[in-house]
A and B are shown apart, each in its own frame.
Chain A
């Protein structure tokens, strides 16, 4: 999901100053002291990363990793929409041939990457090094960690979706989805939109609409994970609600807007609410240079079932990695509790459950206490092999409906046909 490329200027500083080194060294205690044992010193790791704040928080901490291990890490920063198409040709190549040593994996890639034989299983390394992963929210391993009983990825940040809304407009999020739709429409005036929406194909609209589906109690598949359920009555209702909002509550051009567009609309103070990733905005909405809503926003779960779409980013080591052992050192380091906490203190989205009740973190980012509920209630995508194909089809067909090129039923039926096909693969 993309998410925000708005920090691209500063994000290109891959090596931050000594300040962050000192900060983490202090927190990590004696971790710097092992500097004499550096079997991978001089190795360079190349990693493709999405250009957004969470990546920047990691980049800021890299000098500590370098000092500890002698391993140099180079981030290649791209917008989200370019990641998959850049990764696939590298991952599908022969062993040791790829450009990337570590892969950041979004929550609808793990099945495809692992089952295509592109990733190294991590269980032996985890056991060998006695890595303690117990603090990481266990459910995140189900979404983007384990595939067919083996651990291929270590989660490093979750992105639960819910509602971000303005606290200075007297907004009260209604109980049901029907009320929410009417409410969002009623909030639209000449000055402000009811809802900043992201209806562009393919990822933005797919991610946004899944919240409508889940909040109405629907799902893509029935419980057997084989029979498509997306085009049942609940799916129809969820799509009708969504289209109503695109036409009558959202900003002009919402059907072509991505996350950056919608976030900019909200940051400018031109929207009352937004259905979006509730934990990634500290760096944007709290930045007075670009935001008119500093301290004027909070987060809430979806109405209805309170279930939102929850994604997880994880790190894995591809078979095509040139330096898999050094790559594992990086994955271990970046997902370790002290480093994860240092990221959380910068405004990151915590993957360790305890951080959501950590007083020091909550004092800085109070919205995280609500985000914990949203995270707990939400759900991800079914772990079929071709999840990317599923999301691409979902986004394209929903966009056909949003732009009135297909009736909602035709679009849902086309999605269901694809789901049936993908369930068999």
Chain B
């Protein structure tokens, strides 16, 4: 690609990109536009679902200030960050390793390995949560029984404030890694063979060719996969709901869970829950912009 071609290509690519987005934007406006505007309006109102006075006067930014100013928000935001960063890091490393193994030349039973890896992906988070609740049960669960054979004392996986979040992270890794394995496996399978073979002929070892060839070639896929996974991790709700209900105390409360309990499980304060949802949405939009920028930059490189 020469320097003279570049600007024209880029602008044409940009126009095409927007044209491809039109059907999606129309669908989004219909399906998401209304609830979004409703939530936005509600976030500026005193909007209670129950009580003697159900009027909905506008109260400015009060919902935002009380949501963002609460201890519960600080706690939930921190938990969300810890959870998201942990699961994305662990899942990316594990998935990349597994995908490399799956693309080893001459690997036997590849189909069977893929099938086994896909099983968690096929299960709904609720089924995963309920199964793990049983596995992790302090008295009746199989995990403590197995550890007991090795003389390890019973652990209260979901009831100990120090263990609960790491346990949820572990279950999430078990459940979600398969998505990334699939993406990486597809990416690795599609890599051009020539540069890798040339590197081998030149005498590069496995590690060297991984670090200097495979990973740079895979970078666009890795970045996209990480950001897609990050955006969904930030919204984690179902596993928390099933495994711990945010507990013990509020040790595993994520932002999504906090929004849910503010709106539907206690004060029934839809206004504040809507404000929280808008805040979460802004965070996710920010991550998405990062995603688009990163893919642009990598595309340009």
Contact = CB atoms under 8 A, between A and B. Distances in A.
16 contacts: A116-B51, A116-B52, A252-B144, A252-B155, A253-B137, A253-B138, A253-B139, A253-B159, A253-B160, A255-B160, A256-B247, A256-B248, A257-B159, A389-B268, A400-B248, A401-B249
Given A116-B54, A385-B50, A253 B247 contact: no
B268 to A, nearest CB: 7
B218 interface: no
Contact of A392 (B52, B138, B266): B266
Main secondary structure of the interface of B (DSSP, over half): loop
Given A385-B50, A386-B50, A402-B249, 17 more contacts: A88-B264, A116-B54, A117-B54, A202-B245, A202-B247, A253-B157, A254-B156, A256-B156, A264-B140, A385-B51, A389-B267, A389-B268, A399-B247, A400-B248, A403-B249, A404-B161, A425-B51
A88 B244 contact: no
Interface of B: 49-52, 54, 137-140, 144, 154-161, 164, 244-251, 261, 264-268
A325 B293 CA distance: 61
A201 B249 contact: yes
Instruction: Say what secondary structure dominates the interface of chain A.
Output: helix
Contacts of A115: 50-52
Contacts of B245: 81, 200-202
Contacts, number: 122
Nearest to A118: B50
The 4 closest A-B pairs by CB, nearest first: A256-B159, A253-B138, A400-B249, A403-B248
Given A252-B154, A257-B159, A405 B49 contact: no
A48 B140 CA distance: 30
Contacts of B137: 253, 261
A88 B268 contact: yes
A254 B249 CA distance: 13
A52 B87 CA distance: 37
A76 B76 CA distance: 33
A403 B267 contact: no
Contacts of B159: 199-200, 253-257, 403
Contacts of A386: 50-51, 267-268
A388 interface: yes
A369 to B, nearest CB: 32
A255 B265 contact: no
Residue of B138, B139, B140, B244 ringed by the most chain A CB atoms within 10 A: B139
Contacts of B268: 88, 386, 388-389
